[in-house]
Amino acid sequence: MQYETVIGLEVHTELSTKSKIFCACSTRFGQTPNTQVCPVCSGMPGALPVLNRAVVEYAIRTGLAVNCNITRNNQFDRKNYFYPDLPKAYQISQLYFPICTDGTLAITSEDGGTKEVRIREIHMEEDAGKLIHDDWEDASFTDFNRCGVPLLEIVSQPDLRGVAETLDFLEKLKGILQFCGVSDCKMQEGSFRCDVNLSVRPMGSETYGTRTELKNMNSTRAIARMIEAETARQIALLEEGGHVTQETRRWDDDAGESYPMRGKEDAQDYKYFPEPDLPPLVISQEQIDAIQANMPELPEAKKLRYTRELGLPAYDTGIITSSVYLVRLFETTVEICGDAKESANWIMGEVLSRLKSTQTLPENMPFAPESLGKIIVMAQKNIINRGTAKKVFAQVFAEDTDPEAYVKQNNLAMLTDANAVREALIGVVEANQKSVNEFKNGKTQAFQFLVGQGMKSLRGQASAQEVTRVLRELLGSD
Ligand code: ADP
Ligand code: MG
Ligand code: ZN
């Protein structure tokens, strides 16, 4: 029998606010354990939470970007559970009145068309801390720095149908969150992670099968492998005449398989109730309008504008708008050099190939964004030739060197003095009499060799056209 995979996602993204959701502690990643904690986020009795206004703003901005309704009368709810990395023994979340509901996100469907995936809701909540298991010391440690870091949980309807759609949904969502400036979505730092709910059903069936939930997936490769494996596991169960148990499972990426973690919990299990330490949150229409009026330009709109205003081909706009970090580099570069196509070419060529060969993500772009524009300007003004420009860029990429200073210090500028070029090439002719004779006897390859020697002796300080022209003159070939 043919089966269809049905997937719904619960994505957790850490917001890039400076401080935590209910206290003033810093949210900065990677600091010494337990240095960013206070009585509120470490769950001391009597400490009271105060809602961070920026979290609400970020949530509304995200909701508007994915066409959600914004809930005017919000409330927070207490989700009770004990876990060693959550000292309060409850998480403040939103169950009954999530801040955003009923949105849509357009993705590319399996058949190559466009598909609107429904967003069921987006709600605000706080993150828990981290447990660090140390085999060497045979002990587990707790780091509470992450306690109280603001999260948005974005819940889709079960509208996704396989690996490609799921990865595209995550990619599009990540783009929106990054372009909205609400999250940096660094999967490897855990600031963007998702629970994948998956069921299978006979192709053509209208009802959903029983689903499992795979928790805390934080790499696209693992998600892809997991979806294939879980689909196969569920189909095998059904084919044997068995049934899928609704449960939460954990994916072991090294083993390439998942194992049950716990039975599926219900809202009742958490004994949710309205959070008594926070007043209801009322959002005015004016507040929503003000955020709407200041929405940043999203990838789709940018794509259209780049084509309309800058005349860029669709291929180029697609690549550049695939990452907010490429967009930032592109826009800065165009601002400096004024040539959109040349900027796009450099980014799609040198920049992407170096990112790839050094396995660097665009978000970790290792050089000042102005540097690329400066290099292009030097090339436009014929201060350096193309080959030198690439070399300068390699240096900029490797060590974040200032390109103008580098060209000066290393004498890479082209010779503006025609005599200097001529003199250098006279030297080349004298030193390579054998090739000169071959050339005079009709061997055209010998001329290419002389051009190469000329370029070398000028160390890229003259253009190939200039070297060719002067050499022809010296050898009297035209
Ligand atoms: P809970 O609140 O218990 O986690 P929900 O019904 O709210 O369950 O759904 C959670 C997630 O599971 C949503 O992303 C939803 O799209 C997805 N989901 C629900 N039913 C199915 C199903 N049969 N197959 C796959 N995903 C599902
Ligand atoms: Mg859930
Ligand atoms: Zn705190």
CATH hierarchy code of domain 418-475: 1.10.10.410
Rounded CA-CA distance 273/154 in Å is 21
If you measure from the C-alpha of residue 189 to the centroid of ligand 3, how many angstroms do you get, rounded to a whole number? Answer: 20
pLDDT of residue 477: 61
Q: Which of 175, 264, 172, 170 is closest to 217 using CA atoms?
A: 170
Sequence-separated (6 or more) residues with CB below 8 Å from residue 429: 436, 450, 471, 474, 475
CA 430, chain centre distance (Å): 56
Ligand 1 atom 24, closest CA: 199
Structure tokens at 8: 């719904």
Cβ(190)–Cβ(218) under 8 Å?
yes
Q: Whose atoms come closest to the Cα of 44: which ligand?
A: 3
Indicate if the pLDDT at residue 170 is higher than 60.
yes
Sequence-separated (6 or more) residues with CB below 8 Å from residue 375: 346, 384, 389, 392, 393, 396, 403
If you measure from the C-alpha of residue 284 to the centroid of ligand 1, how many angstroms do you get, rounded to a whole number? Answer: 31
Rounded CA-CA distance 299/321 in Å is 6
pLDDT of residue 478: 52
pLDDT of residue 11: 97
If you measure from the C-alpha of residue 41 to the centroid of ligand 3, how many angstroms do you get, rounded to a whole number? Answer: 4
Indicate if the pLDDT at residue 473 is higher than 90.
no
pLDDT of residue 411: 84
CA 332, chain centre distance (Å): 18
Indicate if the pLDDT at residue 263 is higher than 80.
no
Which tens digits make up the pLDDT trace of 301-317? 999 999 999 999 999 99
pLDDT of residue 186: 85
Sequence-separated (6 or more) residues with CB below 8 Å from residue 130: 85, 142, 143, 145, 146
Confidence of residue 463 (pLDDT cuts 50, 70, 90): confident
Indicate if the pLDDT at residue 275 is higher than 90.
yes
Cβ(185)–Cβ(191) under 8 Å?
yes
Cβ(204)–Cβ(39) under 8 Å?
no
Rounded CA-CA distance 147/43 in Å is 9
**Span of 146-150, 245-249, 299-303, 474-478 with lowest mean pLDDT:** 474-478
If you measure from the C-alpha of residue 375 to the centroid of ligand 1, how many angstroms do you get, rounded to a whole number? Answer: 51
Q: Relative to the CA of 208, which ligand 1 atom is closest?
A: 23
Ligand 1 atom 19, closest CA: 158
pLDDT of residue 324: 92
CB atoms within 10 A of CB 147: 29
pLDDT of residue 135: 86
Sequence-separated (6 or more) residues with CB below 8 Å from residue 178: 184, 185, 323, 324
If you measure from the C-alpha of residue 198 to the centroid of ligand 1, how many angstroms do you get, rounded to a whole number? Answer: 8
Indicate if the pLDDT at residue 202 is higher than 90.
yes
Mean predicted lDDT score pLDDT of the chain: 93
Q: Relative to the CA of 210, which ligand 1 atom is closest?
A: 23
Of 374 and 412, which is predicted with more confidence?
A: 374
Q: Which of 84, 58, 87 is closest to 70 using CA atoms?
A: 58
Q: Which of 293, 318, 291, 287 is closest to 62 using CA atoms?
A: 291
Phi, psi of 102 (to 5 degrees): 50, 65
Q: Which of 195, 196, 216 is closest to 131 using CA atoms?
A: 216
Q: Whose atoms come closest to the Cα of 211: which ligand?
A: 1
Cβ(329)–Cβ(372) under 8 Å?
yes
Rounded CA-CA distance 382/120 in Å is 56
Q: Which of 86, 68, 180 is closest to 130 using CA atoms?
A: 86
Confidence of residue 455 (pLDDT cuts 50, 70, 90): confident
Domain layout of the chain by residue ranges: 3-286, 297-409, 418-475
Mean local confidence (pLDDT), 240-256: 93
Rounded CA-CA distance 44/88 in Å is 8
Q: What is the pTM of this model?
A: 0.82
Indicate if the pLDDT at residue 465 is higher than 90.
no
Q: Which of 209, 182, 233 is closest to 11 using CA atoms?
A: 182
First to last CA, the chain: 77
If you measure from the C-alpha of residue 27 to the centroid of ligand 3, how many angstroms do you get, rounded to a whole number? Answer: 9
Mean local confidence (pLDDT), 231-254: 95
**Burial bucket for residue 369 (CB in 10 Å: 0-12, 13-18, 19+):** middle
Which tens digits make up the pLDDT trace of 397-444? 999 999 999 999 998 887 777 788 888 899 999 999 999 899 888 888
pLDDT of residue 1: 87
pLDDT of residue 72: 97
Of 464 and 246, which is predicted with more confidence?
A: 246
Neighbours of ion ligand 3 (CB under 5 A): 23, 25, 38, 40-41
Q: Whose atoms come closest to the Cα of 38: which ligand?
A: 3
If you measure from the C-alpha of residue 196 to the centroid of ligand 2, how many angstroms do you get, rounded to a whole number? Answer: 9
Q: Is 443 helix (H, G, I), strand (E, B) or coil?
A: coil
Sequence-separated (6 or more) residues with CB below 8 Å from residue 136: none
Percent of the chain whose predicted confidence (pLDDT) is above 90 = 76
Structure tokens at 341: 């196509």
Of 197, 198, 265, best ligand 1 pocket probe by most atoms within 8 Å of the beta carbon: 197
Structure tokens at 297: 């330009």
Of 340 and 445, which is predicted with more confidence?
A: 340
Which tens digits make up the pLDDT trace of 57-112? 999 999 999 999 999 999 999 999 988 899 999 999 999 999 999 999 999 998 88
Cβ(97)–Cβ(133) under 8 Å?
no
Q: Which residues of 240-263 are buried (b: 16+ CB within 10 A; e: fewer)?
A: eeeebeeebbebeeeeeebeeeee
As for ligand 1, residues whose beta carbon falls within 6 Å of it are 6-10, 155-158, 197-199, 208-209, 211
Phi, psi of 90 (to 5 degrees): -155, 155
Indicate if the pLDDT at residue 17 is higher than 80.
yes
